[in-house]
Structure 1
Amino acid sequence: MWVRGAAIRPVPPYAVVDRRVLDTIEDELAENGQRTKSDLDDAFGRFENTQPALAHEAAQVLARPLDQTALALGYFLTIAVWMAFDRAFGSRLAEVTEDELRAAESALTLEEELRAAHANEPLELDDVMAIEQPGVLGFINEHLEAALEPSDSREETREVDVDDVHTVYRTVLIMTLALSHAVGTASGARPREMLA
């Protein structure tokens, strides 16, 4: 299914992440203990080594003076999404270049503009991204909603900076789009035209 007038190019079927991969990673990251912290440190190191442009972009966003909830969400989603692509596709996942990252960002910006200009159409940016990567977007949106829910504790009321959460959300969407187009076929080939 493809939406007329969309700026985001379709994600090839061989590059769609299965939601079960993300659920497994979430379970692993939720485990307690020193081994998990060590595994997480190793994962961040591999992320920086294998995807330097994405890691740099994420570091730039997460270095801002963000709300603590947005910051925690950003760290978690960044590493979980990258780990899902890495685990699902392994050597078929190529390094996202700076140009490819900027192309993904431009496509997302143009999609936002198209959706704003056609506000009477039923699909929003989230819907378009969910068509392309349903498992990843479902995972991201669940954690986004949980981060924005009011605290159940009467002792602690927290205010979440919605703008900071949106900044993190948009960064993870760009990362998802860039990684989606960095996956090669089973033979390792990548499409020539990566992004619009």
Structure 2
Amino acid sequence: MDGRPSLFLAPSGGRLEFEMWVRKSSIRPVPTYAKISAATLRAVRDELVEGEAPGEALDAAFERFEESQPALAESLSELLERPYTEATLALAYFLSLSLWLAFERAYGRDLAPVLEQELQATSDLLELDEELHRSDATDTLESDDVISMEQPEIIRFIHEHVEATLDVHADSVELSELETVYRAVLVEALALSYAVRPPLGVAGTREVLA
């Protein structure tokens, strides 16, 4: 990707239909069948936060996370080893597991494991996209704005919990730490989106450079 206008082929009704979307971004589009709903995210949050034993629910989820998504689990473990504040690490733990649980709840066996090289490629594309936006003084969008167009409910969910952490722990958390966590969960959200297998009768999303 080089930031040129792109023509995306979007699946609909078992056929490939043309959908024109002009944007300056290196981020791959998320297929329509891989969108996560607000209802799914609310259900996951209620399960983890409002259950009888929230800590146990998170730990049990992490064990399954390690088994089904080893590359993502390793990435989260590396993040949790950083000397960050307890509030920042708790946010990273909660958001990472919540995103995976939302995809698991929505897609089950149709969610493939994210491979290490796929996770790295997604991170590289996000880094390239960030550079594209920084290099254009006339560009009013940022990378998370682009991702919000792809997965609006996920971005809303992430923002809600980052802001809640800031409201409660404004005097102790470091913004640089939150930025690292924020970027990590953006990469995870995209990687999981791309890992959803297309339903029967749908050819999948293809991208063609104009």
Bin for the TM-score computed over the shorter chain: 0.7 to 0.9
Identity %: 45
Paired amino acid for 1:165: L
Q: Which residue does the alignment assign to 1:154?
A: none
Residue 183 (str. 1) matches residue 196 (str. 2): yes
Q: Which residue does the alignment assign to 1:18?
A: 37
The alpha-carbon distance between structure 1 residues 138 and 190, as it changes in their structure 2 partners (threshold 3 A), is farther
Q: What is the RMSD of the two structures over their aligned residues, measured on CA atoms? A: 2.3
User: Is contact 1:25-1:83 (8 Å) kept?
Assistant: yes
1:60 CA drift (Å): 0.4
1:18 CA drift (Å): 0.6
The alpha-carbon distance between structure 1 residues 178 and 24, as it changes in their structure 2 partners (threshold 3 A), is same
Q: Which residue does the alignment assign to 2:147?
A: 129
Q: Which residue does the alignment assign to 1:170?
A: 183
TM (norm. structure 1) is 0.88
User: Is contact 1:184-1:190 (8 Å) kept?
Assistant: no
The equivalences for 1:78-97 within 5 A come to 78-97=96-115
User: Is contact 1:92-1:188 (8 Å) kept?
Assistant: no
Paired amino acid for 1:59: S
TM (norm. structure 2) is 0.82
Q: Deviations over 1:88-142 (max 9, x none)?
A: 1111100000110011001110010011112322211111010011010110011
User: Is contact 1:93-1:184 (8 Å) kept?
Assistant: yes
5+ residue gaps, structure 2:
1-19
Question: Which segment drifts farther, 117-126 or 1-10?
Answer: 1-10
Say which structure is richer in strand.
Answer: 2
2:66 and 2:26 map into 1 onto residues whose CA distance is 29
The alpha-carbon distance between structure 1 residues 150 and 163, as it changes in their structure 2 partners (threshold 3 A), is same
Aligned residues: 189
